């Protein structure tokens, strides 16, 4: 890669873009914010390591959501939806 500004073929923008287009739309939206921070605040090009870090973080967040944030009642619904107490009824409104 003589004369290339990229230390790896994985760091080339076309290769990063191909990888990002395989992500779901909502993740691509969040990725755009990460890219903006890197380019505007850190004043450097995006690297493959940035993509890997982003995907690791998104995966960790998704697993936390399953473990902590969205407790399900066994039918795929949040626990509070199946509740009949007054507080849960107010919350649903």
Q: What is the pLDDT of residue 1?
A: 45
- Structural domain contains residue 31: yes
> For residue 58, what are the contacts with CB-CB under 8 A and spacing of at least 6?
27, 30
The total domain count for the chain is 1
pLDDT at 73: 57
Backbone angles phi, psi at 41, to 5 degrees: -90, -40
Radius of gyration of the chain (CA): 20
Instruction: Report the distance separating Cα 32 and Cα 38, nearest Å.
Output: 10
Residue 34 lies in a domain: yes
Q: Is residue 38 part of a domain?
A: yes
DSSP H or E run through 92: helix 86-92
Neighbours of 54 (CB within 10 A): 20
- What angle is formed at CA 32 by the lines to CA 21 and CA 7, rounded to 5 degrees? 75
Q: Per residue of the chain (93 residues), give pLDDT as tens.
A: 445 666 778 888 899 999 999 999 999 999 999 999 999 999 999 999 999 999 999 998 888 766 665 655 556 566 555 445 555 544 554
Residue 48, domain extent: 2-72
Residue 39 lies in a domain: yes
Would residue 78 count as lying in a domain?
Answer: no
């Amino acid at each position: 890669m003589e004369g290339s500004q990229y230390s790896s073929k994985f760091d080339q923008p076309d290769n990063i873009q191909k990888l990002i287009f395989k992500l779901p739309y909502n993740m691509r939206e969040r990725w755009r914010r990460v890219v903006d921070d890197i380019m505007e605040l850190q004043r450097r090009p995006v690297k493959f390591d940035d993509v890997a870090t982003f995907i690791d973080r998104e995966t960790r967040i998704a697993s936390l959501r399953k473990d902590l944030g969205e407790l399900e009642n066994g039918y795929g619904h949040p626990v509070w939806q199946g509740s009949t107490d007054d507080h849960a009824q107010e919350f649903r409104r």
